[in-house]
Chains A and B, each alone.
Chain A
Amino acid sequence: EAGVAQSPRYKIIEKRQSVAFWCNPISGHATLYWYQQILGQGPKLLIQFQNNGVVDDSQLPKDRFSAERLKGVDSTLKIQPAKLEDSAVYLCASSLVGAGNTIYFGEGSWLTVV
């Protein structure tokens, strides 16, 4: 069974530029998550989708971050304009619907803002 796919794996941009990350979840997983993980910290939930609806985006900095999941499968996370403090790993994860289901992570997209 294919896992969660993410791209690009690595990205270096200058501050005030924009960047987009793509995620394809495990087939059949209706719930999709984007987490931000800064070095030395645990993952911080940015947004949670169920199918193409948003369940929780309370921690998403909406002035610069946006995410969509138009057809209930793939998702894109965009940052515009980027700040130095956005340097982190952006982890996409997916799970079956329902609380308590195990979430499975992709390998992450490493962002460095210079």
Chain B
Amino acid sequence: GQNIDQPTEMTATEGAIVQINCTYQTSGFNGLFWYQQHAGEAPTFLSYNVLDGLEEKGRFSSFLSRSKGYSYLLLKELQMKDSASYLCAVAGTALIFGKGTTLSVSS
């Protein structure tokens, strides 16, 4: 089976850096995705990691350690518009999502 854990809520201030962690257990691994979901909207793709290491894309970076079953999403120079839910999803035989981390960015 699959199990994905991430914190329920996080808060941060504008301009700060925040790291959202995700731990997972899965039988079969074809990569890990991070999605962003604003309230009332559909999830949108942020990043994909299949090999160990850091993938950087602008203000967002994602890290993967397959041996530890661990990933994190790093958001730099936080903006108010980054307030959203961040979903960790593991690709095994199907793409399974965690419950999401609600990030609140304040001024």
Please name 10 further chain A to chain B contacts, defined as beta carbons within 8 Å, in addition to the given A33-B95, A41-B99, A42-B97, sorted by A numbering.
A40-B99, A41-B100, A45-B95, A55-B94, A56-B93, A99-B93, A102-B48, A103-B95, A105-B42, A106-B42
- B41 contacts which chain A residues (CB < 8 A)? 107
Say yes or no: is A100 at the interface (Cβ < 8 Å to chain B).
yes
* Contact with A105, one of B31, B44, B96, B100 (Cβ below 8 angstroms): B44
Say yes or no: is B50 at the interface (Cβ < 8 Å to chain A).
yes
Say yes or no: is B20 at the interface (Cβ < 8 Å to chain A).
no
- Beta-carbon contact of A43 and B87 below 8 Å: yes
Chain A residues near B (Cβ < 8 Å): 33, 35, 40-45, 48, 55-56, 91, 99-100, 102-108
How many interface contacts (CB-CB < 8 Å) are there between A and B?
50
* Contact with A99, one of B30, B45, B89, B98 (Cβ below 8 angstroms): B30
B44-60: contact bitstring with A at CB < 8 Å (1 yes, 0 no)? 11001010000000000
The complex places the Cα of A32 from the Cα of B45 at a distance, in Å, of 16
Say yes or no: is B72 at the interface (Cβ < 8 Å to chain A).
no
- Beta-carbon contact of B43 and A105 below 8 Å: yes
- B96 contacts which chain A residues (CB < 8 A)? 45
Smallest CB separation, A64 vs chain B (Å): 21
Contact A99-B31, Cβ < 8 Å, known A42-B87, A105-B44: yes
The complex places the Cα of A105 from the Cα of B42 at a distance, in Å, of 6
The complex places the Cα of A43 from the Cα of B45 at a distance, in Å, of 14
The complex places the Cα of A37 from the Cα of B44 at a distance, in Å, of 14
- Beta-carbon contact of B100 and A108 below 8 Å: no
* Contact with B45, one of A35, A102, A106 (Cβ below 8 angstroms): A102
From A35, which residue of chain B is reached at the shortest CB distance?
Answer: B97
The complex places the Cα of A43 from the Cα of B93 at a distance, in Å, of 16
Smallest CB separation, A78 vs chain B (Å): 21
Say yes or no: is B91 at the interface (Cβ < 8 Å to chain A).
yes
Smallest CB separation, B32 vs chain A (Å): 10
